[in-house]
Chains A and B, each alone.
Chain A
Amino acid sequence: MIGVGMTEFGRHPERSLTDMGREACWRALKDAGIHPKQIQAGFSGNSLAPYLQREVDIGQPILREVGIVGIPILNISNACASGSCAFREAWLAVASGLYELVIAVGTEKAFVGKGAMLDIGSQDFQLMQGGVFPGDFALKARRHMLEFGTTKEQLAKISVKNHKNGCLNAYSQFKKEFTVEEVLNSPMVADPLTVLSCCPNSDGSAATIIASKDLAKRYCEKPIRIAASALRSGTYEPNRNLALFDLDFEASKIAYEISGYDPQDIDVAEVHDAFTIAEIMHYEGLGFCKLGEGGRLIDEGETEIGGRIPVNPSGGLLSRGHPVGATGLAQIAEIVWQLRGETGKRQVENARIGLAHVVGGGREGDVGAGTIHILARD
């Protein structure tokens, strides 16, 4: 990887998808120091534009704005994993030997009004009956609390940590710290998850440039190597244990195997903290601790910047914001900046290996699409 770029995440009612996408691509191209005409293929992630903006195939108009035209361009939709799947397809395109220089961009305008929930999935059996995303995670939280003794305070600490980190990130939607009490006392969305336990719906875009090994060395002093890419879907088995993400265990096993690294080797991670409970469960699924010990990990400060395994130094979805199709690429950008040592006050000291993790969509308490990428500075 030779370049990354993103827009500030947040509420941008005045900006179009094309406008935000252009800015992210421009920054990534500038960061890579290449001319857009050198790009051989483009991959654009987006999930909700067909529903929220009545726009389809937004990749071509975005890339056109920076002068990337006439080449193969693919639009990719995979819920929250749309951006990370665009990244994966871009990586595959280079890894296959077909292309040497490609761009992946993820863009979303998901802000739908304060306190409003996204109204999608009209044919889904559970949504038709009143199932909602925060509720589905609340169901997992209750099981986790029952089985492992995880507390509401531990859940709240995830939000406290990520909002604290977000204050150090210029791209973050929220730059405000909260206390455990404030998280617990914010309005209840789906018991036990309060408003400050849930990520916002946001607007934004992020992009990355991937080059073949030879080309990367030519254009970049410090290229970041993609050590592993894993993508899995859920099984939706009705009798599954909802206190854990089976998919995390499956996908991380693949990613660690491909990369040759262990969980202990990971210096910094961006994980899909759409809800506080999710981050705790992902600690366990990614092998940062044993099953059931996620609460202890946050209690002991191990996932803080400066801890044993810092998680979401960017502020995560909770604070940086969650423009659905852009999130995966924003995580990648953060890991790249961390590995290059360019993140200032939120820098994880001497970070060499990073992990980015997304889970998107889902039914019956299981995940639609989950990706794990491991990046390394050699």
Chain B
Amino acid sequence: MLKKNQRAVVEGIIKCPSRAGEKPHLLGNRCSSCGKVFFPKRVICPDCFTDDTLTEFELSSKGKIYTYTIVHYPSPVGVEVPYAYGYVDLPESNIRVFSLFTESDPEKLEIGMNVQLVLDKIGTDEDGTEIVGYKFKPV
């Protein structure tokens, strides 16, 4: 659960552990008609053109780095540099997701590397609220 002085970077995308030992998950949805997976969740399946076939589910928290970069200039949203982001393939969930990485050392990142989902602070709001996002960590 998020604490009082914390907020998720985007509402409704993260399932936080509710007790010790549980792992965090990203929340996507899947169309029961065509099987397509969406992250972030969508309201309508654009292929089936239905709004009652999408069911929320927890995406696999294990993935492989599809591509990555390390940013050295401050991003407008204030993520501390250097930081790394890219795309992670989640083979068990049949989707590729955008993500920050825990590492920003080029020696510690590689395309194809196995990674695991973690939650981490990615910034602070003006009123001091901590922004909690998800990242993938090399395993």
> Do A129 and B111 have beta carbons less than 8 Å apart?
no
Binds B, one of A119-127, A149-157, A206-214, A223-231: A119-127
Are B71 and A189 in contact, CB atoms less than 8 angstroms apart?
A: yes
A364 is an interface residue with CB less than 8 A from chain B: yes
Kindly supply a per-residue 1/0 record for chain A positions 151-182, scoring 1 wherever the CB is within 8 Å of any chain B CB and 0 otherwise: 00000000000000000000000000000000
- Find A139's partner among B10, B79, B87, B133 (CB 8 Å cutoff): B87
A190-B71, A191-B69, A191-B72 in contact; A125/B98 too (CB < 8 A)? Answer: yes
Interface string of A115-142 (1 = CB under 8 A from B): 1011110000111111110110011101
B86 contact set on A, CB distance < 8 A: 139, 142
Q: A125, B73: Cβ atoms under 8 Å?
A: no
Task: Find B67's partner among A117, A130, A139, A188 (CB 8 Å cutoff).
Answer: A139
Q: For chain A residues 239-273, which have a beta carbon within 8 Å of chain B?
A: 239, 242
Answer whether residue A143 sits at the interface, using C-beta atoms and an 8 A cutoff.
Answer: yes
Known: A118-B76, A142-B68, A143-B67. A238 touches B106 (CB 8 A): no
Would you give the shortest CB distance from B49 to chain A, in whole angstroms?
A: 16
A129, A135, A139, A238: the one contacting B122 at CB < 8 Å is A129
Within 8 A of A (CB), among B65-109: 66-77, 79, 83, 85-87, 94-98, 100, 106
Are A142 and B111 in contact, with the CB atoms below 8 A? yes
A213 CA to B67 CA, complexed, in Å? 49
Q: Is B10 within 8 A of A125, CB to CB?
A: yes
- The answer to whether A127 touches B73 (Cβ under 8 A) is no
Q: Is the CB of A117 within 8 A of B73?
A: yes
What does DSSP make chain B's interface, helix, strand, loop or mixed?
strand
Q: Are A129 and B69 in contact (CB under 8 A)?
A: no
Find A131's partner among B70, B74, B96, B98 (CB 8 Å cutoff).
B98
A364 to B87, CA, bound (A): 9
Give bound CA distance, A187 to B70, whole Å. 13
Q: Would A242 and B67 count as touching, CB distance under 8 A? A: yes
Q: A128-B10, A190-B71 are in contact. Are A238 and B77 (CB under 8 A)?
A: no
Complex interface residues of chain B between 23 and 57 (CB less than 8 A to chain A): 39-40
**Which size bracket describes the interface of B in this complex?**
20 to 34
Q: Is B113 an interface residue (CB 8 A)?
A: no
Whether the Cβ atoms of B69 and A130 lie closer than 8 Å is no
B72 and A190 form a contact (CB under 8 A):
yes
Residues on B with C-beta less than 8 A from A127 are: 76-77
Given A129-B133, A130-B79, A131-B85, A238 and B97 touching (CB < 8 A)? yes
- Asked if A365 lies at the interface with its beta carbon under 8 angstroms from chain B, I say yes
Partner of A126, one of B74, B95, B98, B122: B98
A132 near B98: Cβ-Cβ < 8 Å: no
Flag whether A146 is at the interface (Cβ < 8 A). yes
In this assembly, does B118 line the interface, its C-beta being within 8 Å of a C-beta of chain A? no
**Residues of the B chain whose Cβ atoms lie less than 8 Å from the Cβ of A135:** 69, 71, 85
- Kindly report which residue of chain B lies nearest to residue A126, judged by CB atoms: B98
- Residue on B nearest A194 in the bound complex, by CB: B72
**A135–B101 CA distance with the chains assembled, in angstroms:** 13
Decide if B76 touches A142 in the complex (CB within 8 Å).
no
B28 CB, min distance to chain A CBs, angstroms: 10
What CA separation (Å) do A188 and B70 show in the bound complex? 9
**Residues of chain B contacted by A117 (CB below 8 angstroms):** 73-76
One of A120, A129, A140 near B98 (C-beta < 8 A): A129
Is B16's beta carbon under 8 Å from chain A? no
Closest 5 CB pairs of A and B: A119-B76, A138-B69, A130-B79, A191-B70, A139-B67
A residues sitting closer than 8 Å to B (CB atoms) are 115, 117-120, 125-132, 134-135, 138-140, 142-143, 146, 187-193, 238-239, 242, 364-365
Contacts A130-B75, A142-B111 supplied; 12 other A-B pairs, CB < 8 Å: A115-B73, A128-B10, A129-B9, A129-B10, A130-B85, A132-B73, A134-B73, A139-B67, A139-B68, A188-B70, A192-B69, A364-B98
Chain B positions near chain A (C-beta within 8 angstroms): 9-10, 39-40, 66-77, 79, 83, 85-87, 94-98, 100, 106, 111, 122, 133
Could you list 15 examples of A-B contacts with CB < 8 Å? Answer: A115-B73, A118-B76, A126-B98, A129-B79, A130-B79, A130-B85, A131-B75, A134-B71, A139-B87, A140-B67, A143-B66, A143-B67, A187-B72, A191-B106, A242-B87
